Amino acid sequence: MKEIAKNKKAYFDYEILEEYESGIILTGAEIKSIRGGNVNLKGSYVGETEGKLAVKNMHISVYAAIQTPQEPTRERFLLLHKKEIDKIQGKLKERGLAVIPLRLYLKKGYAKLSIGICRGKKNHDKRQTLKRKDQDMEVKRALKKY
């Protein structure tokens, strides 16, 4: 499993309640660009379009060898089981919850998107997260010396 992109901002700004692995419908040029690592998940989200789930605002750079124009931030539909789609659509309607792409990776040659049902953190929660990270780094440094 080769991780291509990670949405670090989502892990800082949101509390992840549930995680799902989904496939994603791409064109040939887009998958080549993803394999090259030219993708950005920052600011992207999952929404409902025509009864299907689609990732919106995910930026995949234009593949250099292809001359045909493609829109870098177009909607891309997700491939999930019907029960998962129904459950996620129900969570989308709940107040205070969002569905955010967390990681994009290759698994057995296929591009997979890890999406999470998230709740926004308050400022004091973010401070606690930073404090915990600092403490973990200090412990790692101390253990490295001995």
User: Please, where are the H alpha helices in 1-146?
Assistant: 8-13, 28-35, 82-93, 123-145
- The residue assigned the tokens 């990732």 is 55
User: Does domain 2-121 fall into CATH 3.90.1580.10?
Assistant: no
pLDDT, tens digit, for every residue of 69-115? 788 889 999 999 999 999 999 998 889 899 999 999 999 989 999 99
Q: How far is CA 129 from the centre of its chain?
A: 20
pLDDT, tens digit, for every residue of 123-136? 888 888 889 989 99
pLDDT, tens digit, for every residue of 32-61? 999 998 999 999 999 999 889 999 999 998
- The residue assigned the tokens 């799902």 is 20
Average pLDDT, the chain: 90
For the whole model, what pTM was predicted?
0.81
What is the percentage of the chain residues whose pLDDT exceeds 70?
100
